[in-house]
A = this chain, B = another copy of it.
Amino acid sequence: MTTHFERPVRIRFSHCDPAGIVFFPQYLVMTNALVEDWFNEGLQIDYAQMIAQRRIGLPIVKLDCEFSRPSQMGETIMLTLSVSAIGRRSISIDILGHCNGETRFRAKQVLVTTSLESCRSIDIPADIANALAMFAPQPEFSEAQRS
């Protein structure tokens, strides 16, 4: 069973600050792109169409990050996404950014499905809920986390 989705990202000149390392808001632009790729390629849900035609938004309501080590221009960071909880109107994901076995950052995000017309939360649409099932957290894994 698939439990995570991952994509590499190259650290570019435009990601870096005068200290020569990733400017932290850029990590969140990267995680947003990762969610986009996960929808398109992992869940097989067309993200652009979801926003522009179906008018379903996926705003973030909660974000907890730890930045453990800086990343330098020229490095390739692997971003790994897993699902920690699926609610009726929300998806909780964990994203790990790592490089050569070293953790660079972790981000826990809670995303909510909304109507871009009413600007209110809506139930996760059936096709998205079905696709998410494949990434649903494993009971055993949750047990392990709880202990």
Contact = CB atoms under 8 A, between A and B. Distances in A.
A49 B63 contact: no
Interface residues of A, number: 43
Number of this chain's copies in the complex? 4
Contacts of A70: 59, 119
Q: Is the interface of A mostly helix, strand, loop or mixed?
A: mixed
A99 interface: no
A93 to B, nearest CB: 14
A101 interface: no
Nearest to A49: B74
11 contacts: A12-B33, A13-B48, A16-B17, A17-B17, A19-B57, A23-B32, A52-B72, A59-B67, A59-B70, A60-B67, A64-B65
